[in-house]
Structure 1
């Protein structure tokens, strides 16, 4: 394993690493299946949601001064309306749900157990308050025959299932962003995964 260091930030502290986190999100999410054509300005605006939440959390991985991995989480009630809406429609107690944001690593740092560490850190943070019953996150759904799908691509479904998460059919939404090479945002179907945070 490479020589790595770790950092945690909460609430408004997250704003101090906006530039690094935004650049990492753009680099990782450009790949399939997200195929996201992002900008630093848009990312920093999006990340303000996390800086404005007292209970938000960031766990970051560094090699030297470079952020090479990161994961975030936030109470669902503090998330944007488009993320809250599927849970509200399905009748979830939104004040008891913790939303897990990105879980991103540069390719050279994958396969070292950091994906599990990301979930461990977020789940521990959510449980530390003693009031949250459910953890959730969402993933994009792409057509099985999407032209940008790389040969041998394996989704993370098996990993997420082993972590105790399952797809919740009642929770679906659409989020918009431009694909690489495009200038216009188009809606992408998102499916939500959930698990209980209780013993």
Structure 2
């Protein structure tokens, strides 16, 4: 593993050649707690295509040499799914004011090197370049404290997110469906949003 990590902000067709590698990385990382996602390669490729098709989206890539070791996605909320938009509409937000940071995935051996901070910096910089946003947000899954797959040494990222200026908003909730490891079918998962107001 190199400590000379290169971070690149990519949009549009330039991302096309990375889709298979990104799909595999997402499946690998999201198998971990708290997502426990039993991933589907074809679904992931289709999902990532939405970022290529949206001209205002961004994927921030982390490279070790030519290998992608991490990725972070984002786009304006107005382009997102109804499940994501609904709690903001119901709570009086204007969708044009909200920039959504979708997900970050990072190979386990590259964590703790500050790459997560750079992911947030680059996505926020992209939002600033687009202009006009009053809020930046993301959401995360909520799992019970006694979940059987919760590792004994698991530490939530709340303090890291607070340090980046994001705060939990319990009134902003949605649900997403996916198939957990060991399950036979998809089930809804509660998701809660964190918000940062732009100055």
TM-score by length of 2: 0.95
Unaligned runs of 5+ in 2: none
Contact 2:9 2:122 in 1 (8 A): no
Runs of 4+ in 1 over 4 A off after TM superposition: none
Using the size of structure 1 for normalisation, the TM-score is 0.95
Larger mean CA deviation between 102-111 and 63-72 belongs to 63-72
Aligned to 1:2: 3
CA-CA distance at 1:38 after TM superposition: 0.6
Q: Distance in 2 between matches of 1:116 and 1:154?
A: 17
CA RMSD, 1 decimal: 1.3
2:82 alignment counterpart: 81
Q: Secondary structure at the match of 1:84?
A: helix
Check whether the contact 1:173–1:190 (CA below 8 A) recurs between aligned residues.
yes
Q: State the alpha-carbon separation in 1 of the partners of residues 152 and 86 from structure 2.
A: 35
Q: CA deviation at 1:92?
A: 0.6
Aligned to 2:29: 28
Tell me the equivalent position of 1:189.
190
Q: In the TM superposition, what is the alpha-carbon distance from 1:74 to its structure 2 partner?
A: 0.3
SS in 1 for 2:22: helix
Asked if 2 retains the 8 angstrom alpha-carbon contact of 1:12 and 1:50, the reply is no
State the distance in 2 between where 1:55 and 1:143 align: 35
Q: CA deviation at 1:83?
A: 1.2
How big is the shift at 1:95? 0.6
